[in-house]
């Protein structure tokens, strides 16, 4: 699995990390009855024992195995002032890519 982050997303994570003592986490929220919908968000939280951890330009980003199973093989994360963090393939742009085992 590969996560790509745009420069805007990296800069926003760095800005947010300066003001927090917790670690950034990519989190999946699953909802639905007949159909399944998954909403991803970036939250700041305490580290958990079984987290998958990656580092992007000095910023730690964690996720649990539940979240990882809903990500595509290649997932992009962007940040826009109006919409916040966007996780998925709704845009095409990347400046940093990392591999997750």
pLDDT digits (tens, 9 = 90+) for 13-44: 988 888 777 889 998 888 766 667 788 888 88
For the stretch 39-90, pLDDT in tens is 888 888 888 889 999 888 888 899 999 888 888 788 889 999 998 998 885 4
Contacts of 97 (CB under 8 A, 6+ apart): 2, 3, 4, 5
* Coil/strand/helix, residue 11: helix
pTM above 0.95, yes or no: no
């Amino acid at each position: 699995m590969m996560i790509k982050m745009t420069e805007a997303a990296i800069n926003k994570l760095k800005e947010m990390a300066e003001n927090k003592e917790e670690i950034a986490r990519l989190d999946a929220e699953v909802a639905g009855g007949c159909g399944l919908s998954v909403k991803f968000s970036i939250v700041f939280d305490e580290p958990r024992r079984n987290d998958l951890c990656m580092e992007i330009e000095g910023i730690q980003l964690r996720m649990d195995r539940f979240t990882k199973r809903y990500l595509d093989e290649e997932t992009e994360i962007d940040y826009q002032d109006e919409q916040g963090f966007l996780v998925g393939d709704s845009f095409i742009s990347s400046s940093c890519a990392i591999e997750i085992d």
